Amino acid sequence: MYLMVPIFRCLQRKLFLWGILIFATLLYTINIIVIITEDEDITSNKANKLSDNLQEINYLINTSNCRIPEDDPFNDEIIVFLENEVTLTCSKYDLLTYIDKTNGAVTLNINKSLLGVYSSLPVQCCYSYIKRISYEIDDDNEIEFTDCIVFEDTVNLTFPYIRVNCYNFLTSVYTNVHATTLPLVKETNTSPNKNKFSVLLVGIDSMSKSNIRRTMPRTYQFAEEHFFKLRGYNKIGLNTFPNLMAILTGYNCDQLDQICNNSVRLNTCHFIWDHFRESKYVTAFAEDECILSTFNYHRPGFSVEPTDFYYRPYFLASETLKVQKFKSMTFCAGPEISGQRILNAAKDFAISFKDEPSFGLFWTNSFSHDDINMAAAMDVPTFKFLSDPHFMSALDNTIFIFFSDHGFRFGDIRFTHSGWLEERLPFIYIRLPKKFEKLYPDKYKNFLTNIERLTVPYDLFYTFQDILEMGDSNYKKYIGKGCPECLSIFSEVPENRSCEDAHIDSHWCTCEKHTYIDPNDHNVRLIGQFILGTVNKRIKHKAVGSLCSTYSLRRVRSAGISKPYVNHQNETVNHYLLTIETNPTAMFEATVEASFKNGKHYFQLLGGMGRVDMYRKVTWCIDDNDIKPYCYCTTTSLFGYLKNIIYKLLPFI
């Protein structure tokens, strides 16, 4: 009699857990069906094909070895993708708490005039510090909050990252996190060197020269009027990681794996901010959208905080608040726009250390990574940030770089000629201190010359070393092994610089013109099969590749051919640029060096290979960063995933 209750409860528990499992199976099955349906729609989308040849009239730069075409950002093949974005707000009310800096004191304050807006009942507030858990294995993704301490009106802060909670006797009425900079303990017998220029970088992910003009017109107009633009700036790698690491380390991805033990922790790399730190600069790094962050997305992150101010704990904490997603991105983190938090942190850092040498990198993904139109929602906030007189005056001794890593990389727009071009041409603006020209007239002259020369991320690595040497004649420069021949933008870049000279793989080079040809041509189909075979080999080379489908060629979607030239083996060849579509549905883009003679052919893949469809939903089964961009998870891997869930549930069933 008494045994019936526990047995009945056990049966209930089993049924409940099996119910969850069945429900999860149905969800995943439905999701796979939806994904397949969505994928099939790729073949009949609104995009014009790459084979639609465009008349190239204007050029961003026109040098002897590089002519980069300048497309109209609003041309006919692009305009079909443009949408009017709605204005988004994260809170109905102004923020209840804020940080103030007066006379060297940093305080957290309550805006008492808003208490009645948030609650008709009495409200009490408390604050906690946000700390990185340094003793955890996954310490770059773990945070903890100290006990919440009640305060009235205002409280002095001794830690840079704070969570605040305000509540009445029924419920919480307001929760937010704040970030600030606090004075650092300085070494004795050191005085600021007035010849040391500070460096501040503010970056927007996936933003081309054309798209900032389309989606952020006020920001674009201000930048055009107040900053210099490097017209020939070309990316050197697939995504954010290689393009930022070229700037920060001078290495390419292959070298990073060998030199930095890239699979363990990134602290083993010697970053440019380490150079600045060793030269007594204050350093900072911040990035939002933590799941996609440059050094943590399928990468190991940092075991030790890499800079003096490392904002990852703050942004992790912000994403524990109520999040509002827009186009799959975290637009709102609590009552504030996530991208606005980056801009606020950059401004606070610049103003706080305007009288000390500093180096800061502030990077935002949250309003630009997944949608080509979404940045429109941040145009006004970004314009206000750049035009803020307090911010601008803090840059009197700062070299300010406002830039991106690449253009938009996925979706229908990438199947157009303009989309292909934009993906390789990120925007970059630079502001120099007024005294720079007077102090370094030759460097300033070279800089103006380089505005219309081919430039790359590696050049910024050398530029930062040039800046360090300006402040310290004893600074020892390092050769960036990714491009030993690259130069500071304050040294004249040769007029005849080519993509090969700048270590830009042919696949990413925008200097080379392609004539678009019939994608059904026999030779083109052979090259398409070669690209397909390369993709399948890369997948099968890894043990986890068994979770991915083996592709077959559905069609060559578009094809282009370069003019003939003689390669290093003294053979006459062409470069073929192809986009192929596969079964199951994926889109791959590659550049292949090819020659056809006497019924024989020679193929060689040049540089990277890009996947241009939105693949996040179909690569969920794999974490390997090397093959994730090529994978399409199989039905077998789905059941394997569910099998793992069952094994995890078995102890409880």
**pLDDT tens column, 557-587:** 999 999 998 888 888 899 999 999 999 999 9
Residue 20 has pLDDT above 60, yes or no: no
Q: Give the DSSP per-residue string, 428-485.
A: EEEE--TTHHHH-HHHHHHHHHHTTSEE-HHHHHHHHHHHHHHH-TTPPP---TT-TT
pLDDT at 568: 80
Residue 558 contacts residue 519 (beta carbons within 8 Å): yes
* Residue 355: both structure tokens together: 């009288």
b/e code 134-166 from CB counts within 10 Å (16+ = b): eeeeebbbebebeeeeebeeebebeebbbbbbb
Closest CA to 581 of 551, 604, 619: 551
Q: Is residue 335 scored above 90 in pLDDT?
A: yes
On the question of pLDDT at 474 being above 50, the answer is yes
Nearest to 273 by CA among 288, 284, 260: 284
The answer to whether 524 and 556 have CB atoms below 8 angstroms apart is: yes
Nearest residue to 130 (alpha-carbon basis) of 346, 317, 336: 317
The whole-number pLDDT of residue 624 equals 84
Token output for 641: 């995933």
How far is 316 from 25, CA to CA, in rounded Å? 30
Take residue 623 and report the two structure tokens written for it. Answer: 């974490």
**One-letter amino acid for residue 451 of the chain:** I
Strand segments, DSSP code E, in 228-357 are 228-229, 232-233, 282-287, 309-310, 323-326, 329-333, 336-337
Least confidently predicted of 70-79, 101-110, 350-359, 564-573: 564-573
Please tell me what DSSP assigns to residue 386: H
Task: Select from 236, 241, 240, 204 the least CA-distant residue to 219.
Answer: 204
pLDDT of residue 49: 44
CA distance 169 to 68: 64
DSSP state of 507: G
In this predicted structure, the answer to whether residue 391 has a pLDDT above a threshold of 70 is: yes
Q: Please provide the average confidence, as pLDDT, over all residues in the chain.
A: 89
CB 205 within 8 A of CB 403: no
> Residue 131's pLDDT is what?
96
Least Cα distance to 373 among 329, 315, 318 occurs for 329
Alpha carbon distance 448, 465 (integer Å): 19
Q: Is 10's pLDDT higher than 50?
A: no
Closest CA to 249 of 361, 140, 138, 345: 361
Residue 35 has pLDDT above 80, yes or no: no
Q: Which amino acid is at 310?
A: Y
| Structure tokens given for 316 | 């992790």
pLDDT digits (tens, 9 = 90+) for 203-256: 999 999 999 999 999 999 999 999 999 999 999 999 999 999 999 999 999 999
Specify the pLDDT at position 42.
44
Section 530-550 average pLDDT: 94
How far, in Å, CA of 534 to CA of 591, rounded?
Answer: 12
Query: What is the model's pTM?
Result: 0.89
pLDDT of amino acid 190: 52
> Are 482 and 255 within 8 A, CB to CB?
yes
618-629 burial, b for 16+ CB within 10 Å, e for fewer? Answer: bbbbbebebbbb
CA 456, chain centre distance (Å): 17
- Mention the CATH class of domain 198-296+338-508: alpha beta
Q: How far apart are CA 504 and CA 458, in angstroms?
A: 10
- Confidence at residue 572, expressed as pLDDT on a 0 to 100 scale: 87
Least confident of 175-184, 260-269, 495-504, 541-550: 260-269
| Residue 240 tokens, joined | 């954010």
Q: Residue 652: its pLDDT value, please?
A: 43
Torsion of CA 34, 37, 43, 47, to 10 degrees: -40
584 preceded by a cis bond (ω within 30 of 0):
yes
Residue whose structure tokens are 């858990």? 133
Vertex 183 angle, CA 179 and 184, to 5°: 110
The tokens for 134 are: 């340094």
Work out the number of other CB atoms within 10 angstroms of the CB of residue 533. 13
Domain boundaries, the chain: 198-296+338-508
Which of the pair, 246 or 30, is modelled with greater confidence?
A: 246
Q: At what angle do helices 240-248 and 457-471 cross, to 10 degrees?
A: 20
What CA–CA distance (Å, rounded) separates 634 from 612?
A: 20
Confidence check: pLDDT of 461 > 90? yes
Rg over alpha carbons for the chain, rounded to the nearest Å, is 27
- CA 623, CA 236: separation in Å to the nearest integer? 24
Task: Identify the band that residue 36 occupies on the pLDDT scale cut at 50, 70 and 90.
Answer: very low
Question: CA-to-CA distance for 226 and 579, rounded, in angstroms?
Answer: 39
Q: What is residue 626's predicted lDDT score, i.e. its pLDDT?
A: 84
